[in-house]
């Protein structure tokens, strides 16, 4: 049985795809068989963050609608023993997809993989239902900013309605100086505003930005504070630990 983890957010651009790519990379580096499924339909970019954009032929919609077999849509990241990507459909793909399709897709993928990581969308439209339908754990990525936290809380309430019990927040793009000066909410403020477990915080760092633009998961740079921090966060999420 594989573990299925969906990554979502309230506001856009909080770092979901960055987090999904690096979580996948770390788990694959740990010897697990991992598949990343990009469910940000029309706005895919996980392929770019993994440097696989030129290798995509089929996408998740092609699998679900029977245009191709799952194996044909799995793109291997050759830097890892077992890390694969199933890309999202490009813009204007009108094919219908339901939460049931997602359940079926993930039950097939779970025959081959230990971890299925779904890179979801932002907001509370139907894309959220699709992205989290098969998930046993959901991670909400938010920034340390009042609007982003409020939107994360709105998404969290939807997740509660959908019966998702295992829910974590990752606070990304943190500027420690602004946090220390009380200009943005502190960790204590955030944990009192959100009713979910905080798995960890990630600082804003130009190296993260540069790595995503180069198609390199930043955790490949072993021994850096970023890699150690990501490792701790991922461990908490997969082992069900509290911050």
Ligand X SMILES: Nc1ncnc2c1ncn2[C@@H]1O[C@H](COP(=O)(O)OP(=O)(O)OP(=O)(O)O)[C@@H](O)[C@H]1O
- Selection from Mg ion, ligand X, none that 216 binds (CB < 5 to 8 A by kind) is none
Phi/psi of residue 59, nearest 5 degrees: -130, 180
Q: Give the nearer residue to ligand X in terms of CB position, either 71 or 214.
A: 214
Q: Which pair of tokens denotes residue 109? A: 């993928």
Residue ranges binding ligand X (CB under 6 A): 9, 12-18, 40, 43, 45, 122, 172-173, 202, 204-205, 208-209, 212
Which position has the token pair 């993928």?
109
CB of 23 to ligand X, least distance (A): 12
Exactly one of 2, 17, 22, 142 binds Mg ion (CB under 5 A); that residue is 17
> Segment 21-60, which members bind Mg ion (CB under 5 A)?
40
- Selection from Mg ion, ligand X, none that 13 binds (CB < 5 to 8 A by kind) is ligand X
Q: Which pair of tokens denotes residue 199? A: 């798995």
Q: Which pair of tokens denotes residue 209? A: 């930005």
CB of 172 to ligand X, least distance (A): 5
Q: Which pair of tokens denotes residue 1? A: 């049985």
Q: Give the nearer residue to ligand X in terms of CB position, either 33 or 59.
A: 59
Locate all alpha helices (DSSP H) within the chain, ordered by sequence.
Answer: 16-29, 46-49, 60-64, 70-73, 99-109, 126-132, 146-161, 176-180, 187-193, 206-214, 225-239
Q: Give the nearer residue to Mg ion in terms of CB position, either 47 or 156.
A: 47
CB of 1 to ligand X, least distance (A): 27
Phi/psi of residue 83, nearest 5 degrees: -130, 120
With CA atoms as reference, report the closest residue to 103 among 64, 142, 65, 155.
Answer: 64
Query: Measured between alpha carbons, how far is residue 117 from residues 57, 109, 113, 146, 189 in Å?
Result: 20, 11, 10, 27, 29
CB of 17 to ligand X, least distance (A): 3
> Would you count residue 87 as binding Mg ion (CB under 5 A)?
no
Q: Give the nearer residue to ligand X in terms of CB position, either 3 or 11.
A: 11
With CA atoms as reference, report the closest residue to 215 among 41, 75, 103.
Answer: 75
User: How many residues lie near Mg ion (CB under 5 A)?
Assistant: 3
Q: Which residue is nearest to Mg ion (CB)?
A: 17
Exactly one of 16, 33, 101, 236 binds Mg ion (CB under 5 A); that residue is 16
CB of 119 to Mg ion, least distance (A): 6
Residues in contact with Mg ion by the rule CB under 5 A: 16-17, 40
């Amino acid at each position: 049985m594989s573990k299925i983890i969906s990554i979502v957010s309230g506001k856009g651009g909080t770092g979901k795809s960055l987090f999904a790519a690096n979580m996948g990379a770390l788990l694959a580096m740990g010897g697990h068989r991992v598949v990343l499924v990009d469910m940000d339909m029309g706005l895919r970019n996980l392929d770019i963050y993994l440097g696989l954009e030129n290798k995509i032929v089929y996408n998740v919609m092609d699998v679900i609608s029977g245009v191709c077999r799952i194996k044909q849509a799995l793109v291997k990241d050759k830097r890892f023993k077992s890390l694969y990507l199933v890309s999202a459909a490009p813009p204007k793909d009108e094919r219908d997809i339901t939460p049931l399709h997602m359940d079926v897709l993930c039950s097939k993928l779970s025959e081959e993989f230990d971890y299925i990581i779904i890179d979801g969308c932002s907001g509370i439209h139907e894309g959220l239902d699709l992205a989290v339908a098969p998930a046993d754990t959901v991670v909400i990525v938010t920034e340390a900013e009042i609007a982003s936290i409020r939107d994360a809380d709105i998404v969290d309430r939807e997740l509660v309605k959908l019966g998702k019990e295992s829910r974590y927040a990752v606070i990304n793009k943190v500027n420690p100086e602004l946090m220390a000066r009380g200009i943005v909410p502190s960790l204590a403020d955030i944990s009192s505003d959100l009713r979910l477990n905080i798995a960890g915080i990630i600082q804003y760092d130009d190296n993260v930005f540069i790595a995503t633009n180069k198609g390199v998961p930043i955790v490949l740079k072993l021994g850096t504070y970023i890699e150690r921090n990501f490792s701790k966060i991922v461990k908490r999420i997969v082992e069900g630990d509290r911050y």
